[in-house]
Amino acid sequence: MENPELTFWKQWIKGPYPWLGSWKTCRDAYLSQETTPISSRKCEITEFCNSKEEWSKIYESNVKDKTCVDVGVGCDGMVPFWKDAKKRILIDPLVDEYHKLIQEESISQGEPDIDWFSGCELVAIPAQEACLKFRDSIDGTIVFRNAMDHDTDPVGLLKSVLSLAIPGCLLIFWSELIHKTEDVGHYSVPLNEADVMQLFSEFTIIRRFKAIHGPNYVCKSELGLLAIRNNK
């Protein structure tokens, strides 16, 4: 049986989707020549930032010439589109499969050079194992969005992700706290917000945010945070 995540991305990569912002596809986002590029999703502006100007400042301070990581990146994420980062690390057990999908779609469209994973370091191992490899090494931005239900130990996974950050590192985090759908590659997440918030004791919370969801999406409990790692 094919992993449902892979099935989803095979459908998704064709686009368009309403949350892609000003672009109809990832191709359009990748080809964007904006001085402060955002991802194929509108997340930076419509979710955790109050304005494009605020995102521009964050981009200058926590993306440009810094090391950034996207944990559970799927086929797009945010980090792949941050062309000014010194290093872009994409962690996902299926990331090689996703890269193959991107390349196949580009070739089918007659554009074999359109590859938004190009230049990124692809880490196709379980996230907790990957986090040990990069522990205390991320100085730019960590993106961990909608991936806690991909591990049998969601709290352990979150702790591992937080361990990546050095002081000054930015964190973009969003997750359902109650997730009951179980299929191949997905697990229940029955968490209490107060308990989860204790895990961020070494971070200063800049603001909380709610994610942009597609039509008919229902979430019983969610937590979104823009935060920065404190000095030790």
Q: Any long-range contacts for 6-14 (C-beta under 8 Å, 24+ apart)? A: 6/94, 6/97, 6/98, 6/101, 9/74, 9/75, 9/98, 9/101, 10/101, 12/75, 13/75, 13/101, 13/102, 13/105, 14/105
Assigned fold of 4-229: Rossmann fold (3.40.50)
> Mean pLDDT throughout 98-123?
91
Distance CA 58, CA 68 (A): 13
72-86 residue pLDDT tens? 998 888 898 888 999
**Predicted pLDDT of residue 215:** 64
Cis preceding-peptide flag for 93 (omega within 30 of 0)? no
Say yes or no to pLDDT of 33 above 70: no
Contacts (Cβ under 8 Å, ≥6 apart) of 12: 75
How, if at all, do strands 170-176 and 222-229 pair?
antiparallel
Which residue type occupies 203? F
Enumerate the domain spans of the chain. Answer: 4-229
